[in-house]
Amino acid sequence: MACSHCKVQHKELSEEKKETIKKIISLVVGIIFLVIAYVLVKNDPTIYKGIEWGYFSQREFYSSYSFISFILYSVGYIYLAIDIIKEMIEGFKEKEFFNESTLMFIATIGAYAICEFPEALFVLLFNIVGETLEEYATNKSKKSINKLVNSMPLYAHYVNSDGMIIEKTPEEINVGDILEIHPGEKVAIDGVLIKGNTSLDLSSINGESLPKDIIIGDFVYSGSINLTSNIQIKTTKKYEDSTLSKIMYLVETEQSKKAKTEKFITRFSRIYTPIVILISLIVFLTGYGLSGFVWEGSNGGSIWLYRALSILLVSCPCALIISVPIGFFASIGKASSLGVLIKGSLPIENMSKSKYFFFDKTGTLTKGNFILKNKVDNKYLKIAASIESKSNHPLSKAICDAYTGELLKVDDVINHPGFGIEGSLDGDKYLIGSKEFLINNGVKDFEEYQTPYKVLYLGKKGGNMLSYFIVADEVKPSAKVMLSALKEEKVKETIMLSGDEEKIAKQVASDVGVDKVLGNLLPEDKLNEIKSASQKGKTCFVGDGVNDSPSLLASDVGVAMGALGSDAAIEASDIVIMDDNILKVAETKRLSKYSLGIIISAIIFSILVKVAVMIIITIGLAEDYAMILGSISDTAVMALCVLYTMSILLYKPKYLKRVQA
């Protein structure tokens, strides 16, 4: 599976490189043809200092530099226009008659009709520059989902009827087969524990922060990691139906859906193109009709055709084709300087409009590492840390990190996976673990502490309970500030989705201040919550684990926390926070709104100027200078729009100054 997927990814990358090289070659060829043609026509030693259709009836014109210039313009135009024409034809086949390709083709043909040959080439060259910039910004951060596929177990330890272990690929395992999983290994297929007991790391499956202690009869999810001891399971599903396979399937399905989303400029062109064509047609037909359908003369049909074509020239989308991608590119560049990677223009647009923000808990709103939350007598903390130093359990580390002094010598250490640990200090036997573990070993005067978090108890074997230790995933100090900042940006609702126990999820939600919280969720549960909210408005999901990948893809914009995030989550996301500063989620929201505001205002300015020039041309104020006015206005508007959209690079952060993550 992984190999075939790699080949597909390699093929996609090769196609992308070919397209990029093709665009660069087209750009260079187009510029060369444009420059040579321009120089020739300006230095024509004959009477021809330009190109007009009337010259083609004169034999001398065919031996002039101007004619050679016309050939160069035409060859350059045809070479650059081939892809535009192909895209336009493809659009027609899909019944999409009005898109940016149609507008560019009509505008450039119009430029040719009124002998503005350089303008026709400029339009196509600007289109190539715009597309190249946007594709570069999009593909710069594109990674292969191959790393998610590689996280799938490559083999399984199959136990045959003689007790011999044979390595098989997961696809070869049948329902009811016995598998052995060693410490540190990933479970290949879902099953039920039939031998041994251990702790499992489920963070890559459901985002649960605490390792789960399991005993015989408990269900074991594929993709979970065995932490402490050898176990055997009986499989209950085939490989393709197992939990991790389903997650990978959800990722690929949601990714293919998202790839179909249209670009901003495509949607805009569907409205802009037919309006421009209709205006030009109305101007020509109205003027021609008012002239009494007389072709020649000072107000004949030829004059009105000239004006209509000039309007097409004015409406040429140069300003939009170049300034819109540059605006998005500037936004991506500014975000990059803030440590945020944005994969193209669509995430910026969707982020600016997102009203429902979903958050994973572990590694997103919390730091993903455990701390001791309660104050413990230093004498008991020293005993506990000394014993726990002999364990590699994540909860043990929290107790050890809380103690800074010299440890005691511990003898006869015994780990009881799923229950606790015991050890001898100066001849006395001490126990640390669950309530049941201590009671079953004769600990008296037991006082249970009520908390949603994990509690470990310390007691002397056959003696009294001595102390307790509340261990919890540490909440990020900036999480609450970030959620408050999102409210300033008019976000309607913030929701925390967690695979942790509901009581723990609710406590964390209370600490950070989310509007709504749901716990005990599997990846498909998170997916359903996001899809439900998407019926009401744009959604954003912020997460970091393999289990978050489907949710990152299903939301309108997925944000991955890059510092602690898995490769799969980073690949599946639209935006990657390159460090662990969650305040950047709110800052990216603000930057996206700011950027889209700049881009839309540039579009409005461009259209207003073009409308004003169209009116001047239509009522005849421009007279014989209509095409010159059209060309100058188009170029000037383009330059102003480009400079204006590039001002996004001057954006000043607001929320990053409030508190450090």
What is the percent of the chain where pLDDT is above 70? 82
Q: What is the mean pLDDT of residues 354-379?
A: 89
- Domains along the chain? 153-185+189-241 (2.70.150.10), 369-474 (3.40.1110.10)
Token representation of residue 348: 């910026």
Q: Alpha-carbon distance 198 to 235, whole Å?
A: 17
Name the strand (E) or helix (H) holding 439: helix 435-440
Give 235's pLDDT tier (boundaries 50, 70, 90): very high
Q: Is 414 left (phi over 0), alpha (psi -120 to 50) or beta?
A: beta
Q: What is the DSSP letter of 649?
A: G
Give 546's pLDDT tier (boundaries 50, 70, 90): low
Q: What is the DSSP letter of 59?
A: G
Give 538's pLDDT tier (boundaries 50, 70, 90): very high
225-234, 318-327, 590-599: range with highest mean pLDDT:
590-599
Between residues 138 and 212, the one the model is more confident about = 212
One of 360, 556, 580, 634 is an active-site residue; which one? 360
Give the strand pairing for 516-518 and 156-159.
unpaired
Give 141's pLDDT tier (boundaries 50, 70, 90): very low
Give the strand pairing for 340-342 and 420-425.
unpaired
Q: Alpha-carbon distance 281 to 307, whole Å?
A: 10
Residue 168, strand partner residues: 156
Q: What is the pLDDT of residue 459?
A: 94
Q: What is the pLDDT of residue 488?
A: 94
Give 570's pLDDT tier (boundaries 50, 70, 90): low
Q: What is the pLDDT of residue 597?
A: 93
SS3 504: helix
Between residues 46 and 488, the one the model is more confident about = 488
- What would you report as the CA-atom Rg of the chain, rounded to the nearest whole angstrom? 34
Q: Alpha-carbon distance 398 to 413, whole Å?
A: 19
What are the pLDDT digits (tens) for 80-114? 888 888 888 887 887 777 666 776 787 778 777 77
Give 565's pLDDT tier (boundaries 50, 70, 90): low
- Rounded to 10 deg, the angle between the 264-290 and 345-353 helix axes is 90
Sole residue written with tokens 């001398």 = 60
Instruction: Choose among 558, 596, 551, 604: nearest CA to 577.
Output: 558
Token representation of residue 360: 């994973």
The answer on pLDDT for 26 being more than 80 is no
Between residues 638 and 654, the one the model is more confident about = 654
Q: What is the mean pLDDT of residues 589-606?
A: 91
Q: Which residues of 648-661 are buried (b: 16+ CB within 10 A; e: fewer)?
A: beebeebbbeeeeb
116-125, 194-203, 407-416, 615-624: range with highest mean pLDDT:
407-416
The answer on pLDDT for 654 being more than 80 is yes
Between residues 115 and 647, the one the model is more confident about = 647
Q: What is the pLDDT of residue 245?
A: 73
Give 250's pLDDT tier (boundaries 50, 70, 90): low
Backbone angles phi, psi at 340, to 5 degrees: -125, 125
What are the pLDDT digits (tens) for 288-323? 888 888 887 777 887 788 778 777 767 766 677 677
The answer on pLDDT for 612 being more than 60 is yes
Between residues 82 and 353, the one the model is more confident about = 353
Q: What is the mean pLDDT of residues 563-572?
A: 62
What are the pLDDT digits (tens) for 47-79? 666 787 888 888 888 888 888 888 888 888 888
The answer to whether the beta carbons of residues 151 and 192 sit under 8 Å apart is no
Q: What is the pLDDT of residue 470?
A: 93
Give 149's pLDDT tier (boundaries 50, 70, 90): very low
The answer to whether residue 360 is catalytic is yes
Least confident of 177-191, 265-279, 399-413, 536-550: 265-279
Question: Could you please report the per-residue DSSP string of 529-594?
Answer: HHHHHTTTS-EEEEE-SGGGHHHHHHSSEEEEETTT--HHHHHH-SEEESSS-THHHHHHHHHHHH
Q: What is the pTM of this model?
A: 0.65
Q: What is the pLDDT of residue 150?
A: 45
The answer on pLDDT for 2 being more than 50 is no
Query: Mean pLDDT for the chain?
Result: 81
17-26, 338-347, 377-386, 501-510: range with highest mean pLDDT:
377-386
Q: What is the pLDDT of residue 43?
A: 77
Give 547's pLDDT tier (boundaries 50, 70, 90): low
Backbone angles phi, psi at 423, to 5 degrees: -165, 160
Helix/strand/coil (H/E/C) assignment for every residue in 251-289: HHHHHHHHCCCCCHHHHHHHHHHHHHHHHHHHHHHHHHH
Give 263's pLDDT tier (boundaries 50, 70, 90): low
What are the pLDDT digits (tens) for 152-207? 556 789 999 888 999 888 889 999 999 999 988 888 898 999 999 888 887 666 55
Alpha-carbon dihedral sign for residues 285, 289, 295, 298: negative
The answer on pLDDT for 418 being more than 80 is no
Between residues 582 and 363, the one the model is more confident about = 582
Q: What is the pLDDT of residue 201?
A: 80
Q: Alpha-carbon distance 221 to 499, whole Å?
A: 13
CB-side neighbour CA atoms (13 Å) of 62: 4
SS3 455: strand
The answer on pLDDT for 1 being more than 50 is no
